[in-house]
Structure 1
Amino acid sequence: MSAIVHLHSAVALIGRFPALAGVDLDVDPGEILLLRGPNGAGKTTLLGVCAGLIGLSSGEAVVLGEDLTSHRRAVRRRVGLLGHDSFLYQDLSVVENLDFWSRAAAATVADGRAALDRLGVASRLFELPVHALSAGQRRRVSFAAMICRRPELWLLDEPHAGLDSAGRDLVDGLMQEAAASGATVMFASHELDRAENVAHRAVTISGGVILPASQPEPASQPEPASQPEP
């Protein structure tokens, strides 16, 4: 079985700083992989590399069968990246955003509406501009825009951020459903009690490298708790 993600001695520079300093990682089809580690460890950069958005300065990166050292753009339509910042158009309404992202992925308007329903986005919010939504509502709409594209690889950075308990449970269910249907999920989280219950496997990143399984995770400042959705 070929790995969905294969990284070998992967080095990625942000400016002159080695955000990844020689990462070796293989992720199997249908796996849910938790990336844990302190702030600034390289988790976000690793997700960006797998999304084809950040290039390597050296090493190997093969994602979904594509060599990212020469074909980074080739994977972008096949992955779903959800980071700290919303990729939604703030002045467009909820449904306008979903229609746009559905068309961009050759999905249908019905796919977008179904995704909104799956994320529990109330119909009263559909015509509101995204900038008028709460953080939790924006997070749900962002997830809807991502899943309507049916990505083969989910790349999630703190996916529970901004969500209440019900929203977090919903996200956990989405990740499990995606993996059960054959997609692969990689996500970074500081909410380890919850995240480790969802993940099939966890790796620890520190200083731009993946630590051996026997090495303890470096201490990190605790993250502020996500605020409940209004």
Structure 2
Amino acid sequence: MAALSVSNLSKYFGAHVGVDGVSFDLESGETAVVFGANGAGKTTLIRMLASLSRPSEGEITIDDDSLVGNAAIRSKIGVVAHETMLYEELTARENLRFHARLHGVDESVCDDLLETVGLAARGSERVSGFSHGMSKRVSLARALVHDPAVLLFDEPYTGLDQTSLSRIESVLTDLKDRTVFASTHDLERGFELADRVLFLNDGRLVGDLEVEAIPDAAAVEETYEALCRGRPAEPAVVDRAGPADSGGTR
């Protein structure tokens, strides 16, 4: 039984296809990183996995239970989105405590997580005064408050200072006991993090490879380009209107 299973997942924005029939399974403790150009559908895919956007077609299951419309299963997921979605008027510690209360978790875990992300000394400060990198670290700590089985991470390395980059890399490297699905443009760091590499092009999954099948990080882009050859250059369209959604692809 896969920890995370995606079957024929699609998302339509009117006549435009954001994600087109994507399927894959991740085992418990496995880390998959998805690569793709801007507009390939990476963020749209992660938003559906995070239950922030409803699929037009297909199914997502966590431990063999359907995710869509199932609040109990959503609690098994931790999400670090491209936008941190923190309450800026609250302190770092208050953000974590609020999330802990939502999940019925002992608030003592919050101080431990602030230590983990290197912000124990700044926990009493409002996040409105934090840099992007510091806010991203608070967001990661929040995603781990309820000890989720699956962690979703959209662009973990974008716009980070060196301190935050090193700290987040360290935390992600240590998450070997849970399933991780991340998207990134950083080929080298993504390759180092991954057990598997998925490639999206125009919303389609064009490749799903074990890291051992790719010689090194420098070969990731070459592999992606090779997998995309023969695909239509223009975005896919369908001849039916799907449900409206305010999101988009990245």
Superposition TM-score tier, normalisation by shorter sequence: 0.7 to 0.9
How far off is 1:40 after superposition? 1.3
Unaligned runs of 5+ in 1: 220-230
1:197 to 2:192 alignment: yes
Give the share of equivalent positions with the same residue, in percent: 28
How far off is 1:4 after superposition? 1.6
> 1: distance between equivalents of 2:70 and 2:152?
15
| RMSD value, Cα | 2.0
Q: Which residue of 2 aligns with 1:162?
A: 159
How far off is 1:22 after superposition? 0.9
Contact kept in structure 1, 2:201 and 2:228, CA below 8 Å = yes
> 2: distance between equivalents of 1:140 and 1:194?
17
DSSP 3-state at the match of 1:29: coil
> 2: distance between equivalents of 1:206 and 1:22?
12
Tell me which of 201, 205, 208 is aligned to 1:210.
205
Normalised by the size of structure 1, how large is the TM-score? 0.85
| TM-superposition CA deviations, 1:41-96 (whole Å, max 9, x none) | 11111111112222222223222322235x34342211011111112111111121
| TM-superposition CA deviations, 1:10-42 (whole Å, max 9, x none) | 111234432111112111111010110011111
| TM-superposition CA deviations, 1:157-182 (whole Å, max 9, x none) | 01122323343233233223222x2x
Normalised by the size of structure 2, how large is the TM-score? 0.79
Q: Which residue of 1 aligns with 2:45?
A: 46
Contact kept in structure 1, 2:200 and 2:207, CA below 8 Å = no
Contact kept in structure 1, 2:67 and 2:74, CA below 8 Å = no
> 2: distance between equivalents of 1:8 and 1:41?
18
Q: Which residue of 2 aligns with 1:226?
A: none
Q: Which residue of 1 aligns with 2:78?
A: 80
Letter in 1 for 2:8: S
Contact kept in structure 2, 1:35 and 1:202, CA below 8 Å = yes
Q: Which residue of 1 aligns with 2:17?
A: 18
DSSP 3-state at the match of 1:84: coil
DSSP 3-state at the match of 1:102: helix
